[in-house]
Amino acid sequence: MVYVGLENVVFILSDPNYYLSAINTILFLIINVNLKVWIALAIALIMKKPFKGNIIVKFIMMVIWASSYVPLLWTWSFILHPSFGILNYTLKTLGLISRPISFLSDPSINFYVLTLLHVWKNVPFWSIMFLAGLMSIPNHLYESAMVDGAGRFQVFLHITLPNLKNLFIINYVLTTIWTSGEFVTFQMLTGGGPFFKTSTIPVYAYLNFVGTASFNIPAAALVPVIPFILLGIFVVLRTKFFTFG
């Protein structure tokens, strides 16, 4: 073991790819969390309505929640493939595009495609949580609102949303924490993108220090320190909602 002092820190902080990865991570978090919360809420509202196909939607959500992430990513990489992927084939047959879109290799869109895939996988879990939250709102609130003549949107805004406030905040913060270390999506499907364009912090550490190129575990361990501190500060401001027991 050789003592290298701050050499690793200097190397990481002076690497523009580090900042690119950090920006990617932040962008990913912002888009990801917002989409997840609202789409999950919308789906939970669908699942709450008593209609005949209700059980089918619940079943589909449970299937996606229960399935492993990696096989689903493979299936999506198969669907999005330019040559034999069914999405490109359908778009071409419908005449909407003339040349197949490389969803996963085109640098201008692959980051957003990966973000959407991550959202797709995690929305079912949160939609079931929101369903639980929706079911715990007592019925008499809705009934008294209807008696007072409130419209549908007003009911949603003034009764449903305030009662879900706790769940919203928990959703936001937990999703932020859970997706801040997202590694598999970006590494598996694009390998960090053409020149780190789709790399997040963990992917940056993996590619630079843990892959076969230069095996430098201490530097890899240093990479998430600053993001961790920043995220920790952000989360600590919300710990009131984390208490249990």
13-32 residues in contact with another protein (CB under 8 A) are none
Residue 69 binding another protein, by CB under 8 A: yes
- Give min distance, CB of 20 to another protein, in A: 18
> Which residues, in sequence order, are CB contacts of 36 under 8 Å at separation 6+?
119, 122, 123, 126, 171, 175
For residues 21 and 201, the answer to whether their CB atoms sit within 8 Å is yes
Q: Does 63 bind another protein (CB under 8 A)?
A: yes
Q: Binding to another protein (CB under 8 A): which residues in 205-224?
A: 205-206, 217, 220-221, 224
Q: Restricting to residues 165-184, which ones interact with another protein according to CB under 8 A?
A: 166-167, 170, 174, 177-178, 180-184
Contact between 189 and another protein (CB under 8 A)? no
- Minimum CB–partner distance for residue 225 and another protein (Å): 10
Q: What is the DSSP secondary structure assignment for residue 99, as one 8-state letter?
A: S
Cα atoms found within 13 Å of the Cα of residue 93, Cβ hemisphere only: 6
146 binds another protein (CB under 8 A): no
The one among 16, 50, 71, 149 contacting another protein by CB under 8 A: 71
Rg (CA), the chain: 22
Identity of the residue, 3 or 244, whose beta carbon is nearer to another protein in the bound complex: 244
**SS3 of residue 80 by DSSP:** coil
Interacting positions 40-59 with another protein (CB under 8 A): 42-43, 46, 49, 53, 56-59
CB of 43 to another protein, least distance (A): 6
The reply to whether 245 sits near another protein by the rule CB under 8 A is: yes
Nearest CA to 173 among 122, 245, 236?
236
Ramachandran area for residue 95 (φ above 0: left; ψ -120 to 50: alpha; else beta):
left
The CA-to-CA distance between both ends of the chain, in Å, stands at: 45
- 82 counts as binding another protein under rule CB under 8 A: no
Helix (H) or strand (E) holding 15: none
Residue 104 touches another protein, criterion: CB under 8 A? no
Site membership for another protein, residue 66 (CB under 8 A):
yes
